[in-house]
Amino acid sequence: MAADWIRDLQQSSSRSHKERVIERALIAHRLGSSSAECFLYNCYLAYNPDQYKCKRVPITKGYINRENPWVKFWGVLEMLRTDSLSRSKLEIIVGETSELFDSEQWNNVCRGVIFKDLRCGISVKTLNKVLGNTEWRIPE
C-alpha cells in the first residue's frame, strides 16, 4: 500500500535513508509493484507546484478493507486543480471519496497529496535526486 512507503520514509530523518526508500520504490515499480507506482505518482502530485483548491478535507477513522480507488482519487484531484466545480460541490465529492479509502491510506496519503505535504520529511530536491531521469521527476 502507498501508506507503507510513507511509513518507511518516516522511520528516519536521514536524507540517505529517504533516498534509499525512494530508490526501492522505483525499483519495485520497475518490477511491477502497483503500490510503488501509486506511491511514486502520489509523490509526484504532492510535490508538483500545481495547487488544489480545497480547504476542508475530512479525517477518517476505522475504515479498513475499503476499495482504495486511486484512479477516482486522481480524477478528484484534477477537478480540484482545474476548479471545474464550485468549492462546496468539490468538498462534498472529496468527503464522499474519503469514505471509499482505508483510513490509513486516506489520512496518510490522500490528505497529504491534497495539502501538498506528505509529512514524511522529503522534498522536491530529495525526490529529484533519485527520480530526476524518470517520468516521476518533479517540475520546479
Residue 83 is classified by DSSP as T
pLDDT of the residue at 122: 96
Residue 53 has pLDDT above 80, yes or no: no
pLDDT value of position 50: 86
Domain boundaries, the chain: 1-48+120-140, 52-115
What pTM does this model have? 0.93
The span from the CA of 125 to the CA of 40, in Å, is 15
* 110 in Cβ contact with 99 (< 8 Å): no
Share of the chain above pLDDT 70, in %: 100
- CA-based torsion, 63, 67, 68, 74: positive or negative: negative
H or E stretch including 115? helix 111-115
Confidence at residue 83, expressed as pLDDT on a 0 to 100 scale: 85
- Render pLDDT for 61-109 as a digit per residue (tens, 0 to 9): 999 999 999 999 999 999 999 988 888 899 999 999 999 999 999 999 9
| Residue 92: how many other CB atoms lie within 10 Å | 12
